[in-house]
Structures are given as structure tokens and as C-alpha cells.
Amino acid sequence: MLVCCYTNHALDQFLEDLLGQGIPEKDIVRLGSKPSPKTQNMGLAAQAYAYRFSRDDWDDIGIMKFSLRRQVDSLQNAYSKFIAPLSPRALLSYLDSADPTYFKALSIPPADDDMILVGESGRAIGHTYLISRWLNGQDAGVFREHPNVVARDVWDLSLEERKTLEARWGGEILEAQMELILEAGDQYNSYREPINHKFQESTRQVLSSKRIIACTTTGAAIYRDAINHLPPEILVVEEAGEVLECHTLTALSNSTRRMILIGDHKCVIIPPPSFGVWFADSMICTCRQLRPKVNDYELSVEKGDGYDLNRSLFERLVTEGHPYRALSKQHRMRPEISSLVRHLTYPDLTDGPGTASRPSIRGLQNTVIFVDHDHPEDEDASLTDPKYVGASTSKRNKFEQDMVVKIVKYLKQQGYGLDEITVLTPYLGQLIGLREALGTNDKVAVSEMDAEQLEVAGLSDLLKNLFLTDKKKQALKVATIGEFPRLLPKELQLTFWGYRQLSGRGK
């Protein structure tokens, strides 16, 4: 069985749940980096099995590496010619086969009796004398009357006409050189592949001894050859609604007999129920995620031009009418919250028996509170939010930042710890603003994905004052809404939501 998740954090949570169901650790191998303390022993490098090469194996590898080095030289030589400026000598060499008429007219005639040809200055005439004069719009110089050179349709051309021909020939030369690069690259890959295959023998031996192979969707592509060598008959994809369709297809193989997708194709403001499972003939799907992220708005579903790059395979299958059935009972939310979900998205959702008996929040009169205000948001021109396609800047609202700080302080006065409170925002800019507004008195934690987005935005220095949520620190969790399902424990905690109406007012 191959288990794929979009992030390392989600992968670790999935594996920890499998361990909780009694699946032995020895039956699982985890591919990739950033394991949690509970999953690090499942890593590929931590496996007890060690494959050792024989002397013959090393001899074969040496021979293959020697051939590979020679092909590297060929590839580099082809590339050097491609990037080198087009010289008169290279152009003349090309004309030898491409256009004999021009080649004859632009080549130095052979000297009689092995004499050295000299120009008007008395210096020897070089091999590119004629073609250099032609390219510069000049006449044939000392060869004006030579029978091999005089070609009126060649030397009577204007400088502009000559430059046009030079550009055409240069393009044809570059095209031929590109073909050589491609051929050399293909040859390089053919030498590289058996070496990779040889060194992956250890990986294949480990994978073949396990029942479950777990990795991110990126890891599935990196280890594709080793995985397909087995190959697994069952594919499980967590967060499938947030995974690009091409990533899901990459994890498939000819041996896949059943695919299990876990995700949500409904993008809503109010949090959906946890792990509502959809059933199809050979597909099980659950709901809770957002659409995949793409960096080009022109290719998105929201643009409406039909490219739909950020439509997941999960969403495509459900919206095109494949049969499904959803779990109808939720165990995460109090009824006051789930009633909003029923009204907006899941009308058949019912509440689990334990959701109605949870104690009320101390110091608050209601479970769900909406705060309306007319303070406009600002745009943070210092960064582009990678989570929102087409956005030139991210958003922040200072009024809401100050309000959240006061609410956090008030709840602490009611006896709640920072680790019992989560602050959510749609925008990375607002997350940064909240961190600044909270100051240094309160410890703040962000998710792995938000930390990566901060690095992408060039704000890695900010991470020095933050904790990752999986480090078990007693810290206030601040996250963008895409990280909400991965961030919270089994029971919903005190949560502040911020969203933006079409009118542009904060809400």
C-alpha cells in the first residue's frame, strides 16, 4: 500500500494514527525528510536492513561511471557551442553544406604555388577575410575580380539583406546545436539510469519488506522507480482535495487496483466536519481541504478560461457525477457551530453524542460571536501571498489585530492557557501583523506550511521568534485558514476567525 500526503506534517499525523490502530511500526517505511519524533524510526535511513554491494557490483558501477563522465564531456561541449557567439568561421563552416553558392563566394580562393596571400596592408589574409567583409557590408577587397568570388547575387546585397541572411543562418545553426544537446542529454540519461537503478537496490529491498510505504506526493515522484518496482496495489492520498491532479496521477501505476482519496472539494469559510468519508466503487474520499495552490492565476479555476490547473482529481471525480456517499455524523463541533455548517454546506450533517455536553467558554455569553466593523483593511506591499493566486499583495487589518490581542489577553484572565487558543486568518500578511501585535510576551507557534510560506515571502527572519506547532511548546497557535484542519487536536478549541466580504469591510 502506498500512502501519500501533501505535507510532511500531515504524513506524520496519518502514520501516528495508523500506529494507534495497532499496525506495527516494522510494517511501515516513511520516505522523505522532517519526520516527527514518533515516525523517525520509520525513515528509510533508520531501517535495520542494509544492502551491501559485492566487488563485482562496484566494478560494474566503475565502468558505468567512466562512460557517464565521457558523456558529461560531450554534453558540456555541445552546450558550450550553443552559448558561444556566432563566429564568422562557424558561419562559413555551416554554409559549406547548407548553401554552396554562398560558401564559394565567401571562401578564400586557394593560392597558386603554395604562395601566401596578403592584403593591401601587406599582412597575410585569414580564412575569414571575405565573410567578415561581407557581414560588415563591404566588398570583396583584394578579391574583387577573382572568378571564384565574383557572384553578383551575393556581393550586391545591401547590409540589411546580409543581416537578414545572417540571422536566418544563425537560427538554423542554433537549432542544429540544440538537437545535439538533446541527443547528448538523452545519451547522458541512458548512462545515468542504470547507475541510479543500482544504487536504489537498497531502497527497493527495504520497500519490498514493508506493507505500507508512506511519503509526500513529491516523495512519490522522487522514489517513483523504486516504488513501481514492487509495485503497490493500493494508493491512499490524504488531503486529496488540496493536491494537484498531476501529483495524484504521478503516484498511480499500472498495478494500482484501488485508489483511496481523502479530501474535500468544497471551499467554505466555516470549517467543514472532520473526516466525512465518501464512498465509490473503488474509491473512498473524505472532506476537509481547500483547492490546490497554483502560482499563475491565468491557469486557475477562478479565472474561468478552462485550464483549471488547481482542480484536484478528487474534485473532478465528484463534480462529474461519480457516485459517492458522505459520513453524516461529526464529532468535532458543538451543535451551535455545526448548525452553521448544515446551513451553508452539509444539510444532512448530524452531531455525535459527545458534542452537546461540552462546557461553555468561561467569560463569553455565546458560543458563536460575530463582530461587525467598518475599519478597512490594508494591503501589505512587502509580500505577495502565495496562498492566493493573482494577488499582488497580501492583506492585513490593524483594527482586527488589536482586537485579537485584547481577546487573547481577556481569555488568559479567564484561566485559559495559550495552548488552548488558536487564531486563524485568511492572509499571510495578517498572520505577520498578529505576530507583531502580540509582541514578545506571548509565545507564538505557526504550522510547517505557514513557515514555508514565510520563507517563500522572504521573511525567514521572522521565524526566529516563532515555534512550529509540532514542537509541543505551550504557545498560541496562529495560522492561515488552509492550515486549520492540520493544526487543531481532536476537540475544537477557542478559535477566532477573520474573513473578508465582497464589500471589502472586515468581518
Residues 168, 236 share a domain? no
Residues 251, 182 share a domain? no
Structural domain that includes position 152: 82-186
Domain stop point among 133, 155, 186? 186
Q: Give, in order, the Cα–Cα distances in Å from 229 to each of 2, 141, 223, 225, 235.
A: 12, 69, 10, 6, 15
Q: What is the CATH number of the domain that holds 233?
A: 3.40.50.300
Residue 318 lies inside a defined structural domain of this protein: yes
pTM of structure: 0.60
Q: Where are the beta strands (DSSP E) in 340-415?
A: 350-351, 378-380, 394-396
- Confirm if 275 and 330 have CB atoms less than 8 A apart: no
Helices (H), 49-110: 55-83, 88-98, 100-106
* Number of domains present in the structure of the chain: 3
Residues 296, 265 share a domain? yes
Residue 505 lies inside a defined structural domain of this protein: no
Predicted confidence pLDDT, tens digits, the chain (507 residues): 999 998 888 899 899 999 999 999 999 999 988 888 889 899 988 886 666 778 888 888 898 999 888 889 888 988 888 888 888 888 988 888 888 888 888 888 876 666 667 666 667 778 888 888 889 988 888 887 777 676 778 888 899 998 999 999 989 999 999 999 999 989 988 888 888 888 888 888 888 889 999 999 989 988 888 888 888 999 999 888 888 898 898 888 888 999 988 877 764 433 333 333 333 333 333 334 467 878 788 888 888 888 888 888 888 888 888 877 677 888 888 898 888 888 887 888 899 988 888 888 899 888 888 888 898 887 665 655 544 444 455 678 889 889 988 998 999 999 998 888 888 887 778 887 887 787 766 677 766 666 666 666 555 555 555 555 545 467 788 877 655 444 443 333 344 444 433 333 333
Domain stop point among 186, 207, 237? 186
Bridge partners (DSSP) of residue 376 are: 505
Phi then psi dihedrals of residue 120, to 5 deg? -65, -25
Residues 181, 207 share a domain? no
Residues 170, 202 share a domain? no
Omega prior to 292 cis, within 30 of 0: no
Number of H helices, E strands in the chain: 17, 16
Residues 486, 365 share a domain? yes
Residue 339 lies inside a defined structural domain of this protein: no
Contacts of 369 (CB under 8 A, 6+ apart): none
Residues 218, 172 share a domain? no
Bridge partners (DSSP) of residue 277 are: 286
Domain stop point among 157, 186, 215? 186
Residue 76 lies inside a defined structural domain of this protein: no
